[in-house]
Amino acid sequence: MIKPKISLIVALAENKVIGNKGQLPWHIPEDMKRFRELTTGNVVIMGRKTYDSLPDKYRPLPNRVNIVITRNKNFPDKGIIICDSVNEALTEAKNYNKEIFIIGGAQIFEQSIRYADKLYLTVIKGKFEGDVFFPDYSEFKRVVA
């Protein structure tokens, strides 16, 4: 079996903000289109807070295998796969033999960046108010901006 590629995909402000009060601090249709084009047909792994932040009509994200990391064993799981750790989620995702996209949030990025083969990065010009930040990626050598 070929090892699936593991990628992180994120949009962040110059001050590393990726979220504010459970939402993206910006609305950039071109970036959403890029996200959709890259992740459709593949596996997406996200934390529970990221899943909860998705609009109802996009829960689960269509045409993707959705894996949600949560410790809540009673989490509603219609159309998603529940895992309780990044390691379990990656093990499950590898069964699909598709590119694996880690889509957030901060804790999931922090725990998974060491496994990533690629980082798809959109840097939003300016500094935004936020309460969720992307971890340090200065050691990462394979960035696609």
Instruction: Say yes or no to pLDDT of 124 above 60.
Output: yes
For residue 145, pLDDT over 60 is answered with no
Model pLDDT, residue 40:
98
The verdict on residue 80 lying in a domain is yes
Residue type, 46: M
What are the structure tokens assigned to 122, written together?
């959109």
pTM of the model: 0.94
Range of the domain at 73: 6-144
Backbone angles phi, psi at 98, to 5 degrees: -130, 165
At residue 140, the pLDDT reads 77
Mean per-residue pLDDT over the chain, rounded: 94
CATH number at residue 33: 3.40.430.10
User: For residue 1, is it within any domain?
Assistant: no
Residue 96 has pLDDT above 80, yes or no: yes
Count of domains for the chain: 1
Residue 34 resides in a domain: yes
pLDDT, tens digit, for every residue of 2-51?
678 999 999 999 999 999 999 999 999 999 999 999 999 999 999 999 99
Strand partners, 5: none
Rounded to whole angstroms, the Cα distance separating 93 from 63 reads 15
User: Once rounded to an integer, what is the mean pLDDT over residues 78-84?
Assistant: 95
